[in-house]
């Protein structure tokens, strides 16, 4: 039983980690807690749905990949969702957050993000309706692993893709000039500016990376559960818990934070009623803020 909960925890933790990367970067580089970030997961999932629906209407292309429930349309939908969600995030940045940042403080940005979250969530409800939707109606059979652990093939794909995304982001942040400039800006925007870094461009990259991660997490989440307008909203607390646990601005912290949150949530049902499961991330936030406010990988300021 414990092995099954551990496996489930790792899988849900991978999605939370992916989604939390962008939130963590936003907190560190843009210096505000963006409560609309979780809605980017929802939009990413629905952008994926749009692509799959269009691809299916056009006759689709190819069948499914082996035991997986999907084929090329979903892979391409991931790319489409990442691009479309990035454009949406850049639009929000340009229309709202960039303007506010010039004239107001961080707390106003936080409150504005609440408003943006409401707007984004209700726009999904208006456009797509409240009914749950599935990417695929293909029935999947769980694979039995040692220890009597059962996982769906799609979940194994999800975990593999998360690892690939994290490695790609690691290489971007440590090998590319833009990634290094991003880390420099996170530490000291003014020093980055006088060094010749165009901080406005770095901020746009933060939105693109954050939104892309959120979109991929949204599509993968939608793959394992059903699509609903509250998909992202339901993850807001786990996402913040993962970002705060890992430490603002830390790629590895966000991923590890996601895994800790996922594992804690899933293992907690062995000792507390399932109805209390959503409280686990909240307790984790309280604990980390008390014992290590800068997070596991964060720098003391």
Nearer to other proteins, 106 or 144 (CB): 106
Choose among 231, 233, 229, 234: nearest CA to 128: 229
Residue indicated by tokens 């690892």:
163
**What residues contact residue 144 under an 8 Å CB cut-off, 6+ apart?**
150
Please state, in angstroms and rounded to a whole number, the distance separating the CA atoms of residues 108 and 128: 30
Question: Out of 56, 104, 195, 226, which residue is the one contacting other proteins (CB under 8 A)?
Answer: 195
Segment near other proteins (CB under 8 A); pick from 105-113, 148-156, 194-202, 218-226: 194-202
Q: Residues in contact with other proteins, total (CB under 8 A)? A: 19
Nearer to other proteins, 78 or 254 (CB): 254
Does 244 engage in binding with other proteins (CB under 8 A)?
no
Does 103 engage in binding with other proteins (CB under 8 A)?
no
Strand partners, 133: 227
Question: Out of 57, 194, 270, 271, which residue is the one contacting other proteins (CB under 8 A)?
Answer: 194
Does 177 engage in binding with other proteins (CB under 8 A)?
yes
For the bound state, the minimum distance from the C-beta of residue 180 to other proteins, rounded and expressed in Å, comes to 5
Please state, in angstroms and rounded to a whole number, the distance separating the CA atoms of residues 158 and 174: 24
Question: Out of 192, 237, 239, 259, which residue is the one contacting other proteins (CB under 8 A)?
Answer: 192
For the bound state, the minimum distance from the C-beta of residue 176 to other proteins, rounded and expressed in Å, comes to 10
Helix (H) or strand (E) holding 147: none
Does 181 engage in binding with other proteins (CB under 8 A)?
yes
Question: Out of 56, 122, 138, 188, which residue is the one contacting other proteins (CB under 8 A)?
Answer: 188
Residue indicated by tokens 């461009």:
201
Cβ atoms of 254 and 27 within 8 Å: the answer is no
Residue 254 burial (C-beta neighbours within 10 Å; 0-12, 13-18, 19+): buried
Question: Out of 75, 100, 149, 199, which residue is the one contacting other proteins (CB under 8 A)?
Answer: 199
Please state, in angstroms and rounded to a whole number, the distance separating the CA atoms of residues 292 and 273: 28
Measure CA 31 to chain center: 18
Does 131 engage in binding with other proteins (CB under 8 A)?
no
Nearer to other proteins, 108 or 178 (CB): 178
What one-character-per-residue DSSP string does 58-111 give?
Answer: TT-SS---TTSS--HHHHHHHHHHHHHHHHHHHHHIIIIIHHHHHHS-HHHHHH
Does 254 engage in binding with other proteins (CB under 8 A)?
no
Does 299 engage in binding with other proteins (CB under 8 A)?
yes
Question: Where on the chain is the footprint of other proteins (CB under 8 A)?
Answer: 177, 180-181, 183-184, 186-188, 190-199, 299
């Amino acid at each position: 039983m414990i092995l099954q909960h551990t496996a489930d925890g790792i899988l849900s933790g991978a999605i939370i980690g992916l989604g939390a990367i962008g939130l963590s970067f936003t907190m560190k580089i843009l210096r505000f807690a963006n409560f609309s970030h979780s809605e980017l997961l929802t939009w990413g999932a629905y952008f994926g749905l749009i692509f799959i629906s269009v691809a299916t209407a056009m006759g689709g292309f190819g069948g499914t990949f082996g035991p997986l429930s999907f084929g090329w349309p979903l892979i391409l939908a991931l790319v489409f969702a990442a691009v479309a969600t990035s454009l949406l995030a850049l639009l929000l940045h340009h229309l709202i957050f960039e303007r506010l940042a010039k004239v107001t403080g961080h707390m106003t940005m936080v409150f504005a993000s609440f408003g943006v979250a409401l707007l984004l969530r209700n726009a999904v409800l208006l456009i797509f309706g409240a009914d749950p939707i599935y990417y695929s109606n293909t029935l999947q059979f769980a694979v039995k692993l040692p220890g009597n652990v059962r996982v769906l093939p799609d979940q194994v794909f999800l975990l593999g893709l998360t690892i690939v995304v994290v490695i790609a982001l690691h290489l971007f942040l440590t090998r590319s000039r833009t990634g290094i400039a991003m880390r420099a800006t996170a530490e000291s925007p003014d020093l980055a500016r006088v060094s010749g870094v165009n901080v406005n461009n770095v901020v746009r990259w933060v939105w693109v990376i954050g939104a892309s991660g959120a979109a991929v997490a949204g599509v993968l989440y939608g793959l394992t559960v059903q699509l609903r307008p509250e998909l992202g909203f339901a993850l807001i607390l786990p996402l913040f818990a993962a970002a705060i646990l890992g430490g603002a601005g830390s790629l590895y912290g966000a991923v590890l934070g996601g895994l800790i949150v996922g594992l804690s949530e899933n293992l907690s049902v062995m000792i507390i009623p399932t109805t209390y499961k959503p409280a686990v991330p909240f307790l984790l936030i309280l604990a980390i803020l008390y014992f290590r406010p800068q997070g596991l990988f964060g720098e003391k300021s």
